[in-house]
Structure 1
Amino acid sequence: MTQAVKLTLVSRCYCHLCQEMEIALRPLAADFGAEVEVLDVDADPALEALYDERVPVLLHDGKELCHYFLEVRKVRDYLSEIG
């Protein structure tokens, strides 16, 4: 049995772009059986140093897939390729 792909969304609670990306990402992740972990950039100084004003940022194994807005086609193609 293969392990589910784990996507990481670096986000912050008061960010409308972050909320929009999370909402848009859920059905796409479900299509591929991917898990989504949401990390609060403000709760981790290392994440804040890396991403602060660039959130939301979508990552897979440390690789940035997109930021600010969900690039559905790009993420779909990426998930198809690694799946």
Structure 2
Amino acid sequence: MACMSPMFRRGGRRTQKLESAESAENLEAKVAEGRLVTLIGKPGCHLCEEAQGVVEKVCGDLGVPWEQKDITQDEELHRAYWEQIPVVLVDGAQHTFWRVNEDRLRRALTQ
């Protein structure tokens, strides 16, 4: 059976696409499991607003939960990060500060 009908071949491609979509969903579930991104900043900070947009996009794409903390409401965070805001933590460890690179954050969450 050297030749397959076009209908059968097309079905094979659909199966591959379905498997790719399932793989993406599995990756998203694995990435989200046990991960947490924390954005530390303060109100009125334009860099914090930019960072929030990147964090929302990447975390939304990957299904990773994220939280936002305000240094003006937490003395310990203020002492630790007041010169670096915005600061992004991944699973409690400092990932970056000032500018958030979307590709770098995505890699950190998928590796």
Report TM bin, short chain: 0.7 to 0.9
| Structure 1 residue corresponding to 2:53, chosen from 17, 23, 31 | 23
Using the alignment, how far apart are the partners of 1:64 and 1:15 within structure 2?
Answer: 19
Structure 2 equivalent of residue 74 of structure 1: 104
With a CA cutoff of 8 Å and minimum separation of 6, indicate the structure with the bigger relative contact order. 1
Residue pairs, 1:1-83, within 5 angstroms: 3=33, 5-81=35-111
Unaligned runs of 5+ in 2: 1-28
- Please say which structure displays the higher CA radius of gyration: 2
Structure 1 equivalent of residue 7 of structure 2: none
Per residue, is there more helix in 1 or in 2? 2
Q: Which runs of 4+ in 1 moved over 4 A?
A: none
Q: CA RMSD in A?
A: 1.5
Per residue, is there more strand in 1 or in 2? 1
Unaligned runs of 5+ in 1: none
Alpha-carbon displacement from aligned partner over 1:21-77 (angstroms, at most 9, x marks no partner): 101221111111111100001111100010002100000222111111112221111
Q: Percent identity?
A: 27
Report how many aligned residue pairs link the two structures: 81
Using the alignment, how far apart are the partners of 2:81 and 2:38 within structure 1?
Answer: 13
